[in-house]
Structure 1
Amino acid sequence: MKPRQSRRQRNAPTISDVARAAGVSPMTVSRVINAENNVRAKTRESVQAAIETLGYTPNRAARSLASADQIIIGLLYSNPSAAYLSELLVGGLEQASRHNAQLVVEKCDSERDAESLAARLMAGGVEGLLMTPPLSDLPQIRELLRSSDTPAVAIASECARDQTSAISIDDYSAAHAMTRYIAELGHRRIGFITGDDKQVASGRRLAGYRDALREAGLPDDDALIAKGLFTYRSGLGAADQLLALDDRPTAIFASNDDMAAATVAIAHRRGLDVPADLTVCGFDDTALATTIWPELTTIHQPILAMARAAVDLLVEKIRAQRDGEAQECRHQLLDFTLVERQSDAPPPHSAT
């Protein structure tokens, strides 16, 4: 049996550590490791000294991939929803295969590790990055991409800037449409469960909900808004908070399907029927939306199509960079759909 890795081994020095020690960018370290010619002798000596001092060992497997005549792209993700992630990976892998591109996937468990993980991917030969929120919104990641001149595409993000293009739906309009739909069913007290406030999409969905309430002449009541984190567990607490109100909502719109499924579970625990006593709606239309009962009315976010479009755009940017052409930074919007299923109904007669 192999011995377990010690904590020290797991926390081996990264390319970012070498870059900081040598006073250069991670991309410069990558160029030295890959024996590229466009590095000054003094800089090369500083980097090599830092590598020796820190005992840094490059990722040989990834470097061997980089030597092949194909495009190597990385996917850096940190998403708590397994259903969402599954569709993202399927779309990304399928499209990468169509381009004869190699997709290297890296999970980031902590935001503080994001920069070093991204730098490690680039040092291993990755020419461009696919990212999901909240990683794509982190300032240290944006600075690393800018300083290293690495093309990137953010999936499900509206933050196109510098080196990073973006693929998303219009989160504001989608949340506005769902809230209006619920109001048109006759609901007057509509609860809302937010997503992680570190993600731009969370704020956009909340704004769409608030504006739709105002346009329908309904109260914009902070008591009807509960904080979630896009996780099932956070949805349990948020739904419990809303349903414990003396004047509880007759409908709850959750910012993703995981939290909507949690809301259905809490409703059942409290003896409420969905949708006769409580309408519950979600967002994303992942596989989870049709594997619970009742099936969720939700916003269909085309995650597979977004992942495929992101790979197409990143490959295009990488080829442009190889040819010495300017890379266009753009934000591409895909269409969303409001999908009606079995989890919504007019409010109980006593609430109208």
Structure 2
Amino acid sequence: MARSPGRPRGVTIIDVARHAGVSPMTVSRVINAEPGVRDETRRLVEAAIATLNYTPNLMARSLVTSREIRIGVLYSNPSAAFMSGFLAGVFEEASARGAQLQLLKGEAGQPPAPAEIERLIAGRIGGMILAPPLGENDSVRALLAEAKLPVAVVGGVAAGAICIGIDNRRAAFDMTRHLIGLGHRRLGFVLGNPDQTASRERLAGFETAAADAGIDATRIVPGDFSYASGLVAGETLLDDPAPPTAIFASNDDMAAAVVSVAHRRHLDVPRDLTVVGFDDSTAAITLWPPLTTIRQPVRALAAEAMQHLIEAMRRGRATSSASPRVLDHLLVERESTAPPPPA
């Protein structure tokens, strides 16, 4: 049977946007004769529509004319505690502002497949918010840059995006100084995901504080923010002939794993070993002893990122030239810290 003439199968609004070199949101404005589009841009979009023989169906048209804000959420974080706070902040802010969310999850810290991300973009979203580590993933950022979408990144740094975080270097410096103030001189540090700026900044804060105090008895071991990596790191540090008297893990999940390793070895925390974390997540208060940690306001970070993203979408801006927004951190002292045991 001959196929009836019409637009080629598979042509979507994102294809039109790519052909014209604009965002899907701009294509939607042109289709619906909305104001705020320059004449030159409108002509480019109309030419792309004609070239591709694109005709939006009624359902698609109802979506692009909807006044509801549609936002994509990309996440793939191994820390369940971090993601709980992140998603809570995103959902609360979206609900308050009447925004619709479309979630897409990657596995094991890896981004979703490019085709999945493209389908999400083609679903007529107007912006994207990314949880770490995806905010600093080159392939993800390239796809979003091509789509010319406004993007907000939580806990990371990405060119052209709205970035919300804390001063990770200062926070780690403060915690390390706290351990030194308790009398610790043999310090262990568990790294986070090496691909994330936050991990590198926390390590830098730790090393600076130790160097300022003239301490060189430090042991740094790899991790990736997951509980499993914390177990391996804890075993490695405590197998040392002269193990640390204090271990600073780059997040609470890994710190909780280190505490578990210590308990298996019949070490008392904090009498025999001090353990501290980062984030002040639910993991910090649901184990014994409760963790001394850095409070990173994950929920507030996500909510503020969502707020700025929606404002950028309403202004029709695809990028942000502003400096990263930095929220305050707090050192929360609990029962997992004490002076080092007698030699």
TM-score interval for Structure 1 and Structure 2 normalised by the shorter chain: 0.7 to 0.9
Deviations 1:122-147 (A, max 9, x none): 21111111102221112222223333
143-152 or 202-211: bigger deviation: 143-152
CA apart distance, 1:187? 0.6
1:282 aligns with 2:277: yes
Query: 2:117: which partner in 1?
Result: 118
Query: Who is 1:172 aligned against?
Result: 169
Whichever residue aligns with residue 155 of structure 1, its letter is V
Mark the CA change 1:138 to 1:340 in structure 2 (over 3 Å): closer, same or farther.
Answer: same
Matched residue, 2:75:
77
Work out whether 1:313 is the aligned partner of 2:301.
no
CA contact (8 A) 2:14 2:122 kept: no
Residues 1:116 and 1:214: Cα distance change in structure 2 (over 3 Å)? same
Q: 1:182 to 1:35 in 2, by over 3 A?
A: same
Aligned length: 323
Deviations 1:144-199 (A, max 9, x none): 33332211110111x1422x110000000001110110011001111000001011
Give, in whole Å, the separation in 2 of the partners of 1:14 and 1:272.
63
- Residue equivalent to 2:129: 130
Q: Which amino acid aligns with 2:129?
A: L
In the other structure, the counterpart of 1:4 is none
**Change over 3 Å in CA distance of 1:69–1:213 after alignment to 2:** same
Distance change (3 Å), C-alpha of 1:101 and 1:62: farther
Residues 318 and 219 (structure 1), Cα distance of their counterparts in 2 relative to 1, 3 Å cut: same
- Which residue of 1 is the match for residue 336 of structure 2? 343
**Following TM superposition, by how much is the alpha carbon of 1:28 offset from its aligned partner in structure 2, in angstroms?**
6.7
Per the normalisation by structure 1, the TM-score is 0.81
Equivalent AA in structure 2 for residue 336 of structure 1: H
Shift of 1:279: 0.1
Following the alignment from structure 2 to structure 1, what is the Cα–Cα distance between the partners of residues 11 and 243? Answer: 51
What root-mean-square deviation, in Å, do the aligned CA atoms of Structure 1 and Structure 2 show? 3.3
Q: CA distance change for structure 1 residues 256 and 16 in 2, over 3 Å: closer, same or farther?
A: farther
The question of whether the paired residues in 1 share the 8 Å contact of 2:24 and 2:124 is answered with: no
Alignment of 1:245-284 (within 5 A): 245-284=240-279
Q: Which residue of 2 aligns with 1:152?
A: 151
1:184 to 1:111, Cα distance in 2 relative to 1, 3 A: same
Post-superposition CA distance 1:243-277 (Å, at most 9, x none): 00000000100000000000000000111100000
Distance 1:244 1:126, change over 3 A: same
Structure 1: unaligned runs, 5 residues or longer: 1-12, 50-57
Tell me if structure 1 keeps the 8 A contact 2:184–2:340.
yes
Question: Match for 2:286: what amino acid?
Answer: T
- Once the two structures are TM-superposed, the CA of residue 327 in structure 1 deviates from its matched residue by 5.1
Verify: 1:187 aligned to 2:180, yes or no. Answer: no
Q: Give deviations 1:71-98, integer Å, cap 9, x for gaps.
A: 1111111111111111111111111111
Letter in 2 for 1:315: I
Identity %: 42
In structure 1, C-alpha distance between the alignment counterparts of 2:286 and 2:173, rounded to whole Å = 25
- Asked whether the equivalents of residues 15 and 29 of structure 1 are also in contact (C-alpha less than 8 Å), the reply is no
Matched residue of 2:112: which SS? helix
- Counterparts of 1:114 and 1:333 in 2: how far apart (Å)? 31
User: Per-residue CA shift, 1:280-336, capped at 9, x if unaligned?
Assistant: 0000000110000000000000011111111111011111117xx985543100000
For 1:230-241, list aligned pairs within 5 A. Answer: 230-241=225-236
- Structure 2 gaps of 5+ residues are 1-9, 34-41
Q: Which residue of 209, 216, 219 corresponds with 2:216?
A: 219
Q: Counterpart of 1:349 in 2: which secondary structure? A: coil
**Distance change in 2, residues 1:271/1:330 (3 Å):** same
What is the TM-score normalised by the length of structure 2?
A: 0.83
SS in 1 for 2:71: strand
CA distance in 1, matches of 2:159, 2:184: 39
- CA distance, structure 2, for counterparts of residue 247 and residue 46 of structure 1: 71
Aligned equivalents of 2:60 and 2:334: distance in 1?
45
Residues 41-99 of structure 1: per-residue CA shift (max 9 Å, x gap): 775577579xxxxxxxx9x9998655421211111111111111111111111111111
| Rounded Cα–Cα distance in structure 1 between residues aligned with 2:114 and 2:27 | 18
CA contact (8 A) 1:231 1:258 kept: yes
The 3 A distance-change label for structure 1 pair 74 and 253 is same
